[in-house]
């Protein structure tokens, strides 16, 4: 196994797919200079500007052109630069790409990977820091992926490129440099969560960079004698209901943590599913922790008030372990 950064792992997966299949190509802003986060460095030199294509600053045009290319048989990787900017192409994604297979009776498909760097990055402010994964999980026809580690970013990128449906691929900007071992033979699978840590006292469910914080919170809880199980969903649609329900059946406690705004966040879907299917297993009411419904500030001290930290996750879990008042 090789040690790679989160950014390098996805780039490696893309390069391997492009070498194996001439239909795979990349399009987006600033790709010719390696991408705004350097996640495409070296690809234009190997594959040329026809397959690593610089595009004008028009997200709608990028998404629409890639959709047309997908319909005629290519497999585009669409770089949206920031998840926030991708909102300019929401109509193309939600009303056209997500619905193409259904509207054409299965005769046409849109095999696309739509990369959307997401999440809080130091002092990026309200228009460059959002976590909007729940929006896309709500849309029928879209696969939604939120990898948290280099291994997952490699394996899930390979799976996304091979998928015949459009995949909204959300990578957290704060962990481009995160390093870890990558096993190229370990497959990625939609709807298959990973148990980051086994435990019997409380189930903590998360994804994206917040899953890394959940793992750190579990280490803190272990020092207090609390045995937390951490489930990294990896993909939000489909999501691994069986893994979550099985864990809750053992622990009797559920805490969902995500960086996105708590109101309307995907954590509510997880909590509702457990409440509907496993309420009799719960020792205490399920909880979720997310960002408050506010705009993300530029000032670091205010930005930090919006963050879901490992300390906050651990504190919420400790509260769930406290005996109920008489």
Per-residue pLDDT tens over the stretch 251-276:
999 999 999 999 999 999 999 999 99
- When pLDDT is averaged across residues 56-78 and rounded to a whole number, the result is 97
Residue 287 located in a structural domain: yes
SS3 55: coil
pLDDT above 80: residue 310: yes
Residues 176 and 275 in one domain: no
Cα dihedral 311/312/315/317 (nearest 10): -110
HSE, CB side, 13 Å, CA atoms: give it for residue 156.
32
**Residue 260 pLDDT:** 97
CB 211 within 8 A of CB 232: yes
pLDDT-based confidence at residue 62 (cuts at 50, 70, 90): very high
pLDDT at 326: 54
How far CA 142 is from CA of 38, 78, 82, 188, 266, in Å, comes to 27, 14, 18, 17, 15
Q: Is residue 178 part of a domain?
A: yes
Does some domain include residue 326? no
Lowest mean pLDDT among 34-38, 56-60, 72-76, 313-317: 34-38
Label residue 126 by pLDDT band (50, 70, 90): confident
User: 188 in a domain, yes or no?
Assistant: no
Is 128 among the residues known to form the active site? yes
On whether both 245 and 149 belong to a single domain, the answer is no
The pLDDT of residue 128 is above 90:
no
8 A C-beta contact, residue 204 and residue 217: yes
For range 298-322, the mean pLDDT: 94
- Indicate the SS3 state at residue 110: coil
* Residue numbers of the domain that contains 176: 2-182
pLDDT at 39: 94
Is 77 in the same domain as 203? no
Q: What pLDDT is recorded for position 50?
A: 95
Q: What is the pLDDT of residue 324?
A: 66
Domain identity same for 205 and 294: yes
Catalytic option among 128, 138, 172, 258: 128
pLDDT, the chain, mean:
96
* Residue, of 325 and 127, whose pLDDT is higher: 127
**CATH number of the domain enclosing 213:** 3.40.50.920
* Whole-angstrom distance, CA of residue 162 vs CA of residue 23: 11
For 43, the token pair is: 């690809």
């Amino acid at each position: 196994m090789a040690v790679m950064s989160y950014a390098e792992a996805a780039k490696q997966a893309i390069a391997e797919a492009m070498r194996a299949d001439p239909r795979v190509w990349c399009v987006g802003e600033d790709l010719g200079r390696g991408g705004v986060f350097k996640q495409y460095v070296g690809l234009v030199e190997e594959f040329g500007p026809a397959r690593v294509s610089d595009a004008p600053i028009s997200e709608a045009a990028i998404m629409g052109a890639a959709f047309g290319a997908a319909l005629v048989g290519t497999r585009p990787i669409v770089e949206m630069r920031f998840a926030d900017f991708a909102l300019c192409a929401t109509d193309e994604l939600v009303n056209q790409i997500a619905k193409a297979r259904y509207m054409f009776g299965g005769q046409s498909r849109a095999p696309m990977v739509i990369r959307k760097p997401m999440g809080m990055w130091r002092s990026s402010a309200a228009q460059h820091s959002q976590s909007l994964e729940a929006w896309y999980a709500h849309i029928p026809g879209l696969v939604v992926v939120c990898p948290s580690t280099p291994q997952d970013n490699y394996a899930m990128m390979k799976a996304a490129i091979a998928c015949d449906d459009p995949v909204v691929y959300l990578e957290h900007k704060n962990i481009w440099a995160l390093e870890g071992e990558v096993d190229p033979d370990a497959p990625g699978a939609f709807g298959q969560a990973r148990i980051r840590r086994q435990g019997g006292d409380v189930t903590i469910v998360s994804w994206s960079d917040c899953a890394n914080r959940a793992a750190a919170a579990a280490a803190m809880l272990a020092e207090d004698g609390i045995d937390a199980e951490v489930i990294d969903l990896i993909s939000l649609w489909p999501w691994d209901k069986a893994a979550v329900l099985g864990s809750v059946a053992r622990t009797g406690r559920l805490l969902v943590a995500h960086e996105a705004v708590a109101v309307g966040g995907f954590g509510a879907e997880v909590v509702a599913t457990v409440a509907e299917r496993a309420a009799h297993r719960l020792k205490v009411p399920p909880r979720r922790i997310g960002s408050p419904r506010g705009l993300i500030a530029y000032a670091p001290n205010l930005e930090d008030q919006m963050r879901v930290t490992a300390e906050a996750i651990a504190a919420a879990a400790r509260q769930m372990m406290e005996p109920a008042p008489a």
